[in-house]
Amino acid sequence: MNHTNHTSRYFTEEHNLFRQTFRDFLEREVRPNVDQWEKDGQLPKDIYRTFGEMVFFGMTHEDQYGGSDGDIWYNVIFDEDIARMNSGGFGASIGAHPMLTLTHLNHEGTEEQKHKYLVPGIKGEKIGCLAITEAFGGSDVQAVRTTTVKDGDEYILNGSKTFITNGVFSDFLIIVAKTSPE
């Protein structure tokens, strides 16, 4: 299989141009640093801003939020080439932000939330995380024990999360919680 030419019924010439641009970017900005980032146990926040400047976090988001209005195949290319860096820590951290956090925010967030978090998230100015995993239920959303109750204009959370990718240095969190026991 020729890995440099992915033209098919899924990948257009535009996809291939993006793939090459993204691959060149990763080789230049990530490959020389990824071993140190693994040793440090986290990514520097400025790599998120660099990804954001290139709109790599917004390839499939609407242009009104700073995205590029691309199709799902841009995310496939993103994931494939992130994996080529051979760093689980880098892949999990840099991938969780756009693929988990920003995707949920875009689909479930209010317009106000999108402008407050999605726009700077796409720019790499704010880093988000998706808090699902709990000590007793793992990442099974049906087993989530964290609850939330509306109190006026706010929600009161009761529970705990663990092993949340980007959780310790995120600027915003999307938290999975039950609004009623059933």
Q: How many domains does the chain have?
A: 1
146 within a domain of the structure (yes/no)? yes
133 within a domain of the structure (yes/no)? yes
Distance CA 88, CA 29 (A): 17
182 within a domain of the structure (yes/no)? no
What pLDDT is attached to residue 166?
Answer: 93
Mean pLDDT of the chain: 93
118 within a domain of the structure (yes/no)? yes
**pLDDT grade for 4, boundaries at 50, 70 and 90:** low
The total number of residues written for the chain in this structure: 182
6 within a domain of the structure (yes/no)? no
Residue that the structure tokens 């407050």 belong to: 116
Positive or negative: CA dihedral 35, 85, 101, 22: positive
The tokens describing 9, both together, are: 């019924």
pLDDT tens by residue, 142-167: 889 999 999 999 999 999 999 999 99
pLDDT tens by residue, 58-101: 999 999 999 999 999 999 999 999 999 999 999 999 999 999 99
Distance CA 137, CA 133 (A): 7
* Domain carrying residue 53: 13-175
167 within a domain of the structure (yes/no)? yes
pTM above 0.85, yes or no: yes
Distance CA 77, CA 86 (A): 15
- Kindly state the helix (H) or strand (E) to which residue 156 belongs, with its residue range: strand 154-158
**Buried-state track 96-132, b at ≥16 Cβ within 10 A, e below 16:** bbbbbbbbebbeebeeeebeebbbbbbbbebbbbbbb
DSSP 138: B
180 within a domain of the structure (yes/no)? no
CATH code of the domain in which 60 resides: 1.10.540.10
103 within a domain of the structure (yes/no)? yes
> Where are any strands of DSSP class E within 31-176?
128-131, 147-151, 154-158, 172-175
CA angle 13–15–18, rounded 5-degree value? 110
